[in-house]
């Protein structure tokens, strides 16, 4: 596997390179956003790891730019900023996972394996079929979501969250399960999942009499017509 690491602190970058090379990965380093973008768009990488605070192009803007050209390349963000708002901002920029410094290499390795495994299994968004539940319809090919024939505009993360809920209706989904299956992360300790659930509720439930997303106190969330 060939991984691009974009990190401006050379000591940290070399530490990451050494740790991942010991796990059998091939690593290319970039020390600023501009060089990281050039490498990402002109070479082939199995996964990209990037810091948020970068010179020339910051990590959030860089992630958006790379994602617009490479929609399926797994991206892990590394940062010292670990608040819910920081994580939501990173996911909105297109990151698949978010790891807060300092971190254990075993955790980074586990997240890399999880992301690559999902990517190699194939992206379900391109299978060209419909999901239906109650009056909700999701087209996995065109990315169009409708409720009562009203088109609902969703961000990529909201789409993935709704897709997972529609594929697992009428059973309680814990925050841990959602974090692992939708975000490919083991971090369910902050409330970024609740933030996205609220985003989704406002779009698919607020203006409709039948509610589809329900909270089960102390357990998680359930997708059912009620």
- The reply to whether 39 and 114 lie within a common domain is yes
- The CATH code of the domain that includes 81 is 3.40.50.2300
Rounded to two decimals, the pTM is: 0.61
- The reply to whether 6 and 115 lie within a common domain is yes
- The reply to whether 70 and 100 lie within a common domain is yes
pLDDT class of 39 with cuts at 50, 70, 90: very high
Domain that holds residue 160: 131-223
Structural domains in the chain (count): 2
Q: Could you tell me which residues come within 8 angstroms of residue 180 by beta carbon, excluding any fewer than 6 positions away?
A: 114, 186
217: in domain: yes
CA nearest 172: which of 134, 137, 220? 220
**Mean of pLDDT values over 53-65:** 93
pLDDT at 73: 87
Q: Could you tell me which residues come within 8 angstroms of residue 9 by beta carbon, excluding any fewer than 6 positions away?
A: 51
- The reply to whether 19 and 72 lie within a common domain is yes
**Mean of pLDDT values over 103-127:** 70
Of 95, 121, 147, at which residue does a domain stop?
Answer: 121
The answer to whether residue 35 scores a pLDDT higher than 90 is yes
Of 82, 102, 121, at which residue does a domain stop?
Answer: 121
**Mean of pLDDT values over 17-28:** 90
pLDDT at 153: 94
- The reply to whether 105 and 8 lie within a common domain is yes
Helix axes 84-93, 192-204, angle to 10 degrees: 60
Question: Residue 129 carries which DSSP code?
Answer: -
- The reply to whether 109 and 219 lie within a common domain is no
pLDDT at 82: 67
148: in domain: yes
Rg (CA), the chain: 18
- The reply to whether 109 and 184 lie within a common domain is no
Mean pLDDT of the chain: 86
pLDDT at 151: 93
- The CATH code of the domain that includes 189 is 1.10.10.10
Q: Which two tokens stand for residue 97?
A: 């996972």
pLDDT at 221: 95
- The reply to whether 14 and 106 lie within a common domain is yes
Report phi then psi at 32, rounded to 5: -150, 165
126: in domain: no
pLDDT tens-digit map of 123-165:
443 344 788 888 899 988 888 999 988 999 999 889 999 999 9
């Amino acid at each position: 596997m060939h991984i691009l690491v974009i990190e401006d602190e050379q000591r940290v970058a070399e530490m990451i390179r050494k740790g991942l090379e010991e796990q059998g990965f091939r690593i290319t380093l970039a020390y600023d956003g501009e060089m990281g973008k050039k490498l990402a768009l002109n070479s082939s990488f199995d996964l990209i790891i990037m810091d948020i605070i970068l010179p020339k192009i910051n990590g959030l803007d860089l992630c958006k730019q790379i994602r617009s050209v490479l929609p399926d390349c797994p991206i892990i963000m590394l940062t010292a900023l670990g608040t819910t708002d920081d994580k939501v901002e990173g996911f909105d920029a297109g990151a698949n996972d978010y790891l807060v410094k300092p971190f254990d290499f075993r955790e980074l390795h586990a997240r890399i394996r999880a992301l690559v495994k999902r990517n190699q299994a194939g992206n379900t968004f391109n299978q060209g079929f419909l999901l239906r539940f109650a009056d909700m319809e999701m087209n996995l090919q065109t990315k169009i979501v409708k409720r009562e024939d009203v088109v609902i505009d969703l961000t990529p993360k909201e789409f993935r969250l709704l897709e997972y809920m529609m594929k697992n209706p009428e059973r309680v989904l814990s925050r841990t399960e959602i974090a692992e299956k939708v975000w490919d992360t083991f971090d369910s300790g902050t409330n970024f999942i609740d933030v996205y659930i609220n985003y989704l509720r406002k779009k698919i439930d607020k203006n409709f009499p039948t509610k589809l997303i329900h909270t089960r106190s102390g357990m998680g969330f359930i997708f059912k017509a009620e």
